[in-house]
Amino acid sequence: MKFLSKRNEVYLKDGLVHKRVGCARAAAQEAETLRHLHANGVPVPRMIDCRDNLLVLELLPGVPLADVVERGDYEPEALAAALCDWFAAFYAAMPGLTRGDVNGRNFLWDGTRMRGVDFEECPPGPPAHDAGRLAAFVDTYDTRRRDRQAALAEAFSREFGARFGCAWEDVAARREQELLAMQKRRAAGR
């Protein structure tokens, strides 16, 4: 058994991902969301089983977006386009909802395609919320290639705005809100 997450009980067993969530209701809701997304062609793990508060999921290929950004081994425009492709599929399947938890550990990049994982919540809201939150997370990664990180943030913001009609000001405001929230969470954790 190999643990895949330090925060949640997520582990690999028999080639499948096992994820234990807080309660059976939350597990059932996440399972329903995953089934809906998968059925609508959104690149997410296929649900294998859901019992009580345990989800059993397909193991997806790829490297967490956070690790890709930290290493700096990507083409900013290609990565930004792949992220926007993923969001386009998500928004088509979940109109009026946002991805919500857009930290870089919840996206997997295989070099050509982006995949999403961890769907405990998909709150209502405008796409600018997702773009701003993801930009804030990307801004906070410790990276060896700050120039590529800045190029990714710019390419993603430009592509996202063009595809989803988000004003730069809305994305920037949400980014700032998320950066402040991160500071508060980190200060409380000390």
Q: Which residues contact 78 (CB under 8 A, 6 or more apart)?
A: none
Beta strand pairing call for 9-13 and 107-109: unpaired
Q: Which residues contact 35 (CB under 8 A, 6 or more apart)?
A: 47
* Domain boundaries for CATH 1.10.510 within the chain: 63-189
Which amino acid is present at 113? R
Please give the average pLDDT of every successive group of 10 residues along the chain, which has 190 residues.
63 94 94 98 98 96 93 90 97 96 94 95 93 86 77 87 87 86 81
Tell me the CATH number of domain 63-189, given options 1.10.260, 3.30.499, 1.10.510, 3.30.70: 1.10.510
In the structure encoding, which two tokens stand for residue 13, read together?
A: 């067993």
Assigned architecture for domain 2-58: 2-Layer Sandwich (3.30)
Among residues 39, 42, 33, the alpha carbon closest in space to that of 122 is found at 33
pLDDT the model gives residue 145: 76
Q: What is the DSSP letter of 40?
A: T
Give the residue ranges of DSSP H helices in 40-167: 65-71, 76-93, 127-140, 146-164
